[in-house]
Structure 1
Amino acid sequence: MAASTKSLTTLLAQSSLDDHDEILKSANAAIKKSKSDLEAQHAKVVALLKLDRFEDAIKVFEAAPAVQEKARFEYAYALYKSGDAAKAVEVAEGHASTRGMKHVLAQAAYRSENFEHAGKIYRELAKQGGQDEEYDIRINSGAVDAQLEWIGLGELAEKKKPTREDMEAFETAYNAACGSISRGEFAQGEVLLKRAKDLCSALSDMSEAEKQAEILPITVQQVYVYAQMGKFEEAEKLATTIPLTEIKELSTRYVAQINAIAASKEHSNPYQSHRLFHVSPTPPKTDEHFSYQINILRQDGYVMDLLSQKVAGVANSTLKVISASPTPTTSPVVNAAAVLNAAAHARNVSEKAALKEIIPLLEKRPSDVGLLLTITNLYILTNNHAAATHLLETFFNRLEQSGNSSDLDVRHAPGLVATLVTLYAHQGRPSHSKTELAKAATYWRHKSKAPSKALMVAAGTALLESQNQDSLQAAGDIFGSLFEQDNTDRAAIAGLVAGYSLIDPSKLSPDLESSLPEASRLVADIDAAALEAAGVPSLAAQAETSATKKRPAADKLVPEKAKKIRKSRMPKDFVEGKKMDAERWLPMKDRTYYRPKGKKGKKKMEASTQGGPVVEEKGEAKQAGGGTVKAKKKGKGKGGKW
């Protein structure tokens, strides 16, 4: 064993970075003589990693657990590169004392979609500093921020807006563009993507082939941005310039092909699009899409099936996804499947007809959040906001009564709360909105981690509008908890100052108030004179306007234009320009100019005049009010006539 170890050590000392095959041969020879030779096994896994034979390196580690302990860094790296990022995190987690292991842990956490953990590690590495690593850390941190935005955790991102240093390299510009796109800022994303392309094209230390490989993913992203901005002609034209077969990463190639289908007018035939969609290459395990991308791609597949009239297949497939998960849930995968399941049952009918088809499904699946929101949306589209509100309120009450922890998490989910609050606002019920927001904020304040900072800020802001002491105290508590999480958060500081200044100013420290920007600074760029000249009235002008608001004199009134009368309302003897009789709608006897002819007519006229003599006619009796009642006639009897 000593001889084999010595010969291997000599070989490693004499080797260069290009002869890993020789190292591997020597290590295999040493292991053949002694399977317990840890040095030889360590050398073997390093050589395999250098040769990009990650699966073979994993086999060596699995066959010799002792090597896993000796070469933990190499083991974690091999797991990460072979596509098992979750296990790589487990291996590296408790042994991330070295800078190299921290890098592996951050990369593995990113790949396993634990973006928050990855961002924390990169911040630690940035604080520690390191030679020639600042640039790489900045690139990776930008990628983490973009991913946090995509999954709805943008409040955890380190940077919310692109900075000047992001414009210095194409990688950072591209990551900044992705961050903007994920926030829906497509115009800014378009500018940043063009900047990334220009920076890459200007590089002198890269070959044209290398530049093309970097530019292709940027172009794929541009097609998506153009489509989202409604620039379909630009999207289609750009998509035709992308050589799909030259895109090395199959995950990117897959997205590029689907974007090309969506942007192309040639693929308007749903059956042709369906065929092209399903012949797209499937990425390997080491190049898989992230889960939120897989969910979107799965939805695209269902939509293609619906357009191809495969409604029964979509209904069955989506029901399997729904049934496999406990309900209620806020999982986007399950709820998106529920929406598409409802679409399959509706079969492309109008909103009211769709409600008749879908409401019976809710009776079978009363805790299906996706189905509930679909019906809520259909009620809103048919202008039945009261029914939509009642539906959500009933659902919330049922979850509250269950008392189950997971049910209560769903009941206070930010998206559902926001939907009900929006419905209340539409119906002019601000007090209900405040109550709902306060209830949700109170619930999440007692949890270890709130799902949305935006929900807490909205609740605190709504409560601040109230003059109620309890509401103001609750607002102060909400912003206080946000301040404890991040003492640099300006929204938390402003809310804290606004809340406690009304209920307990003694809790406010001078440092807290001074951390807010001065009012003069906030209005420094406002030109009051220009605003007034543009039409903003001053207080004096408002008082003068209020004092001089009088009804104009009758002789100064502008005569109204004569209204046109429809032909159907005109009399048969109508003559253009002739003044029409204003009393033409009254019976002739009621018109002021009516004069009866003859004795009978005059007598009848006198009888109908107000204040004239009352004449009782046979069978009738006049009432004081001018109306009449029938007089009951006495029936004939044996006594003769009445």
Structure 2
Amino acid sequence: MASSNEQVTSLFNQLQTSSQSGQDEQSLQLCDQIIKLEANNKLALKCKVVTLIRLGQYTNALSLIARKFKDDDTLAIEKIYCYYRTNQLQPALELLKEVKQKQQEPDQSLLFLEAQLLYAQDNYKKAIQIYQQLLDNTNKTDHIYDEIQVNLLAAKMGLAFSDKKKSNENDIHNVIVETSQYEVAYNAASLHLACGQLDKARKQLESARKVCHDRLTEADTPQEEIDEELAVIATQLAYTYQQQGRIDDAMEIYQSVIDSGVDDVSVNAIISNNIVAVRQKKDLQDSVKKIKNATTKEADARLKRYQKRVISMNESLLHLYMNKYDACRDLAQRLIQKYPENETLYLVLAAATYQQHKAEAAVEELKKYAEKNPKSLALRFATIQLQLLQSRPAAALQTLESYLSLIDQQKNKKEYYQPAIIALLVWLYEQTGQSDKAMDTLDKASAYWKMDKEFDSTAAPTSIMKQTASFKLQTGRYSEAASDFEELVKADPTDAQAVAGLISAYIEVDPAKAEQYGNALPAIALDHLDIPALERSVPGVKRGYVKKQHDNSTRTIKPKTKKKRKPLLPKQYDESKTADPERWLPARERSTYRAKGKSKKALGKGPQGSFVAGGGIGNTGSANIGGGGSGEKEPSSPDTKTESPKPAATPAKSSQQNKKKKKKGKNKW
């Protein structure tokens, strides 16, 4: 029988073979066998910790380190990594600082782990710095180079999605993928997507999807793992289609990922959120279920901060669509505490107030929010929109002027003279009857756009000049309008709109030049038009008005004759007979109605000696002892009205009264 040392040596040899071949389950069993023979074998314990990490059993690895390596720092990096994978970021950072203080120069693995922790905490700028440092000090032939590049692009993508103002435009526009790794292509595409470069993102994602599928298929990877790897790329590609307006293509990919049964919490949460965004106000009940799936504890632990922010905002909008205003406001207020820089949340609060028919309160809320964020153009524009909906252009003008005065104080001319802002300002001046100010604003804007070299390649100066010239034409300043339109025509002789404006101006000041430019306009080509078809397609016009008249005779328009509808008569109706005028009355209300037994009941009623018609001999009023009734009965007056029967509120009471009457009749005799 072999000694224990020989057994341990043999087991270590087997452990080395299984570890190199990736058989982690077998490696774990071999580690346990060695520890059973030698409980304090440090090498076996370290191998077991690494094997547990490779198997994803991070909690068990932490427990083993705490028991066997309590005062030993040899597994500090493994312990930090386990903290990171179990989302215990704060203990991981504290331990990382301790290890860095003990090392004079931190090694590559420690820096890589630090960058991962910073990325997990959404500290993208510092993570980018460390990843860039690692990338510069790593050879391109090293196997770790592509992984560093993947993480670097992921950090840049996270920064672009969370805050585009802080992202470096050079990192965005100079993304060059020099590798065949689909992970690198995926992160590069996501970076393009975060910066609005949808077409570049789409091309790289489609390429990454194909490369991933082909490579994993060639490696005989199980279909479940292929679907799980492709689900991330496919979901990002579907989101790109969604941003491009290709909703059907996006929904098809979302549904295919759902049907594949991929058990990825983050992917399923993002798909649920994106489907809710596509539906908007449709299928609200199903959208509620999908939002719940996107806000579970498991999803919260896996999603990034900017992703959770978007999902929570969509949840508040869903409450708004379902008219749950209190829930909408409560959630939006909680989100503002987490993301105070997000101005969209303030718009959600104002929308909830406005939909409760409190327009003035919504405007006041927006003004209060604008005081906290005076540079927010979105809040100002939302305030102006609500004021215009209330038909208050003067108040809207005051709101815009207060914003522009703040921009003017900062001497930010580029922000001040944005075409959209100038167009709105001029329109508000027109609505409030301040044409001179509108003209002055357009003149200043035109002068600025002509001098600014950054906008030479854009259509902003042309649009401003056209708006200025058109406004001068409307206000009767024909000479100035002609001068502006002439500059536009010189810049682009093919601009038919500018030529038409120039002709309109010259008609008032120089008809000869107007005729000259009028001859330069191209003739309107009507050969390709089908006139009869156009006439037939005119909506709301009857066929008689669009029919072609072959003769030159004038058509006489006959007055419309109203058709009389025949009266509805009952079956077997005889016109010779006069209809009963009381036929519409209920039977009880007709003059011919006689209640059963009414004459008998009336005999014993009335005081003694009262006059009863035809009651006694010679009409003396005494009882009719002759035994005969009156020969004639007076017909009841047709004017006499009887009350319609009412529902018996207390049926038991009426039956008791009937019983009492019967007893009285018996006792009388």
Deviation at 1:10, TM superposition (A): 8.0
Residues 1:216 and 2:231 are matched in the alignment: yes
Which residue does the alignment assign to 2:291?
277
Q: In the superposition, relative to structure 1, how do residues 417 and 143 fare at CA in structure 2: closer, same or farther (>3 Å)?
A: farther
Which residue does the alignment assign to 2:257?
242
Q: Judge conservation of contact 1:27–1:43 (CA < 8 Å) in 2.
A: no
Which residue does the alignment assign to 1:198?
210
Q: In the superposition, relative to structure 1, how do residues 223 and 558 fare at CA in structure 2: closer, same or farther (>3 Å)?
A: closer
Q: Distance in 1 between matches of 2:240 and 2:517?
A: 54
Residues 1:25 and 2:29 are matched in the alignment: no
Post-superposition Cα deviations, 1:373-416, rounded to whole Å, max 9, x if no partner, equal 6651224433665323455479999xxxxxxxxxxxxx99x9x9
The structure 2 residue matched to 1:228, chosen from 243, 257, 277, is 243
Q: Distance in 1 between matches of 2:396 and 2:5?
A: 80
SS class of match (1:246): coil
Residues 1:255 and 2:270 are matched in the alignment: yes
Amino acid at match of 1:189: A
Residues 1:160 and 2:176 are matched in the alignment: no
Instruction: Compute the TM-score of the two structures, normalised by the length of structure 1.
Output: 0.55
| 1:326-345 matched pairs, under 5 angstroms | 331-332=341-342, 335-345=343-353
Q: Distance in 1 between matches of 2:512 and 2:406?
A: 60
Instruction: Compute the TM-score of the two structures, normalised by the length of structure 2.
Output: 0.53
Q: Distance in 1 between matches of 2:247 and 2:238?
A: 9
Amino acid at match of 2:351: A
| 1:119-134 matched pairs, under 5 angstroms | 119-130=128-139, 131-134=142-145
Amino acid at match of 2:15: S
SS class of match (2:266): helix
Q: Judge conservation of contact 2:172–2:192 (CA < 8 Å) in 1.
A: no
The structure 2 residue matched to 1:176, chosen from 183, 188, 194, is 188
Deviation at 1:60, TM superposition (A): 3.9
Which residue does the alignment assign to 2:127?
118
Post-superposition Cα deviations, 1:550-603, rounded to whole Å, max 9, x if no partner, equal 9565997999xxxxxxxxxxxxxxxxxxxxxxxxxxxxxxxxxxxxxxxxxxxx
Q: Judge conservation of contact 2:284–2:318 (CA < 8 Å) in 1.
A: yes
Residues 1:56 and 2:44 are matched in the alignment: no
Q: Distance in 2 between matches of 1:292 and 1:176?
A: 18
Identity of aligned residues (%): 17
Amino acid at match of 1:426: I
Q: Judge conservation of contact 2:186–2:204 (CA < 8 Å) in 1.
A: yes
Q: In the superposition, relative to structure 1, how do residues 552 and 389 fare at CA in structure 2: closer, same or farther (>3 Å)?
A: closer
Q: Distance in 2 between matches of 1:121 and 1:392?
A: 41
| 1:479-518 matched pairs, under 5 angstroms | none
Deviation at 1:216, TM superposition (A): 1.8
| 1:454-465 matched pairs, under 5 angstroms | none
Q: Distance in 1 between matches of 2:171 and 2:379?
A: 38
SS class of match (2:143): coil
Q: Distance in 2 between matches of 1:228 and 1:15?
A: 51
Q: Distance in 1 between matches of 2:405 and 2:514?
A: 61
SS class of match (1:241): helix
Deviation at 1:118, TM superposition (A): 2.4
Select the structure of larger CA radius of gyration. 2
Q: Distance in 2 between matches of 1:169 and 1:47?
A: 27
Deviation at 1:307, TM superposition (A): 1.0
Post-superposition Cα deviations, 1:46-87, rounded to whole Å, max 9, x if no partner, equal 343233211122234456774462321111211122223454
Deviation at 1:301, TM superposition (A): 0.6
Which residue does the alignment assign to 1:268?
282
Q: Distance in 2 between matches of 1:208 and 1:40?
A: 32
| 1:232-381 matched pairs, under 5 angstroms | 232-243=247-258, 246-263=261-278, 268-280=282-294, 282=296, 284=298, 288-322=302-336, 324=337, 331-332=341-342, 335-347=343-355, 354=359, 356-361=360-365, 367-369=371-373, 375-381=379-385
Post-superposition Cα deviations, 1:5-40, rounded to whole Å, max 9, x if no partner, equal 9997885465232444235535765896x7xx8667
Q: Distance in 2 between matches of 1:378 and 1:309?
A: 20
Q: In the superposition, relative to structure 1, how do residues 310 and 554 fare at CA in structure 2: closer, same or farther (>3 Å)?
A: closer
SS class of match (1:268): coil
Deviation at 1:426, TM superposition (A): 2.2
Which residue does the alignment assign to 1:426?
422
Q: Judge conservation of contact 2:375–2:403 (CA < 8 Å) in 1.
A: no
Q: In the superposition, relative to structure 1, how do residues 50 and 241 fare at CA in structure 2: closer, same or farther (>3 Å)?
A: closer
Which residue does the alignment assign to 2:74?
70
Gapped regions of structure 1 (runs ≥ 5): 398-410, 430-461, 467-490, 492-531, 538-549, 560-642
Q: Distance in 2 between matches of 1:422 and 1:558?
A: 32
Which residue does the alignment assign to 1:107?
116
Which residue does the alignment assign to 1:135?
146
Deviation at 1:302, TM superposition (A): 0.7
Q: In the superposition, relative to structure 1, how do residues 6 and 110 fare at CA in structure 2: closer, same or farther (>3 Å)?
A: farther
Post-superposition Cα deviations, 1:234-256, rounded to whole Å, max 9, x if no partner, equal 22333332235622321111111
Deviation at 1:98, TM superposition (A): 2.1
Deviation at 1:195, TM superposition (A): 1.5
Amino acid at match of 1:155: N
Q: Distance in 2 between matches of 1:555 and 1:340?
A: 53
Deviation at 1:270, TM superposition (A): 2.0
Gapped regions of structure 2 (runs ≥ 5): 426-447, 455-489, 496-508, 519-669
Q: Distance in 2 between matches of 1:276 and 1:250?
A: 13
Q: Distance in 2 between matches of 1:190 and 1:8?
A: 55
Q: Distance in 2 between matches of 1:63 and 1:197?
A: 45
Of structures 1 and 2, the one with the larger relative CO (CA 8 A, separation 6+) is 1
SS class of match (1:142): helix
Which residue does the alignment assign to 2:474?
none
Post-superposition Cα deviations, 1:152-199, rounded to whole Å, max 9, x if no partner, equal 232176452443525x33222222221111111212222222111222
Post-superposition Cα deviations, 1:189-221, rounded to whole Å, max 9, x if no partner, equal 222221112222332225362433222222212
SS class of match (2:219): coil
Amino acid at match of 2:92: A
Q: Distance in 1 between matches of 2:517 and 2:27?
A: 98
Q: Judge conservation of contact 1:109–1:115 (CA < 8 Å) in 2.
A: yes
Amino acid at match of 2:61: A
SS class of match (2:257): coil
Which residue does the alignment assign to 1:573?
none
Amino acid at match of 1:235: A
Q: Distance in 2 between matches of 1:100 and 1:297?
A: 34
Q: Judge conservation of contact 2:52–2:60 (CA < 8 Å) in 1.
A: yes
Q: In the superposition, relative to structure 1, how do residues 24 and 396 fare at CA in structure 2: closer, same or farther (>3 Å)?
A: farther
Q: Judge conservation of contact 1:314–1:344 (CA < 8 Å) in 2.
A: yes
Amino acid at match of 1:290: K
Q: Distance in 1 between matches of 2:36 and 2:8?
A: 9
